[in-house]
Amino acid sequence: MTPVIHWFRRDLRLTDNLALRAALKTGQPVVPLFIFDPALLKGERFSTARLKFMLDGLRALDESLKPFGTRLLIRYGSPIPALRELIDTAGASALFYNRDYSPYAVRRDDQLRESLSVEIHPFDDALLHPPGQILSGSNAPYTVYTLFKRRWLEQPKPAVESGVIPNKQFHSLEGLDNPCIPTLHDFSVTETIDTPAAGESTARQRLERFIERGIFLYSQRRDRLAINPFTDDDPTTSALSPYFRFGMISPRQAYHAAMNARREASTEAERESVDVWISELAWREFYTQILYHFPHVHNTSFRPEYEQVEYRHAPDELKRWQNGETGYPIVDAAMRQLNALGWMHNRARMIVASFLTKDLLIYWREGDVAFMQRLIDGDPAANNGGWQWSAGTGTDAQPYFRIFNPILQSQKFDPDGAYIRHWLPELRDVPTKFIHAPWEMETPPAQYPRPIVDHAFARERTLRAFKAVKQEKIS
Residues at the contact surface with ligand FAD, assessed by CB under 6 A: 222, 229, 237-241, 244-245, 280-281, 283-284, 287, 346, 349-350, 353, 371, 375, 377-379, 382-383, 385-387, 390
Cα 386 to Cα 404: distance, rounded to the nearest angstrom: 15
Nearer to ligand FAD, 259 or 468 (CB): 259
Nearer to ligand FAD, 356 or 437 (CB): 356
Nearer to ligand FAD, 276 or 408 (CB): 276
Nearer to ligand FAD, 86 or 211 (CB): 211
Nearer to ligand FAD, 28 or 357 (CB): 357
List of residues 6+ apart from 57 with CB closer than 8 A: 12, 198, 199, 246, 248
Closest distance to ligand FAD from the beta carbon of 395 (Å)? 12
Cα distances (angstroms) measured from residue 29 to each of 3, 12, 68, 144, 169:
5, 19, 11, 45, 5
Closest distance to ligand FAD from the beta carbon of 391 (Å)? 9
Nearer to ligand FAD, 62 or 379 (CB): 379
Cα 386 to Cα 392: distance, rounded to the nearest angstrom: 10
Nearer to ligand FAD, 96 or 311 (CB): 311
Cα 197 to Cα 77: distance, rounded to the nearest angstrom: 27
Q: At what angle do helices 251-264 and 268-293 cross, to 10 degrees?
A: 160
Closest distance to ligand FAD from the beta carbon of 293 (Å)? 16
When CB distances to ligand FAD are compared, the closest residue is: 386
Is residue 358 within 8 Å of 404, Cβ to Cβ? yes
Could you tell me how many residues make up the chain? 475
Closest distance to ligand FAD from the beta carbon of 459 (Å)? 19
Closest distance to ligand FAD from the beta carbon of 127 (Å)? 11
Q: 167: alpha, beta or left, given left = phi > 0 and alpha = psi -120 to 50? A: left
Closest distance to ligand FAD from the beta carbon of 298 (Å)? 13
Closest distance to ligand FAD from the beta carbon of 238 (Å)? 3
Closest distance to ligand FAD from the beta carbon of 451 (Å)? 21
Closest distance to ligand FAD from the beta carbon of 381 (Å)? 8
| Long-range contacts of 425-429, Cβ-Cβ distance < 8 Å, separation of 24 or more | 427/329
Amino acid letter for position 280: E
Angle at 250 between CA 248 and CA 253, to 5 degrees: 120
Is residue 41 within 8 Å of 126, Cβ to Cβ? no
Closest distance to ligand FAD from the beta carbon of 226 (Å)? 8
Nearer to ligand FAD, 32 or 158 (CB): 158
Nearer to ligand FAD, 83 or 341 (CB): 341
Strands lying side by side in the sheet with 119-123: 73-76, 30-36, 4-8, 94-98, 119-123
Closest distance to ligand FAD from the beta carbon of 362 (Å)? 13
Nearer to ligand FAD, 239 or 360 (CB): 239
Nearer to ligand FAD, 171 or 374 (CB): 374
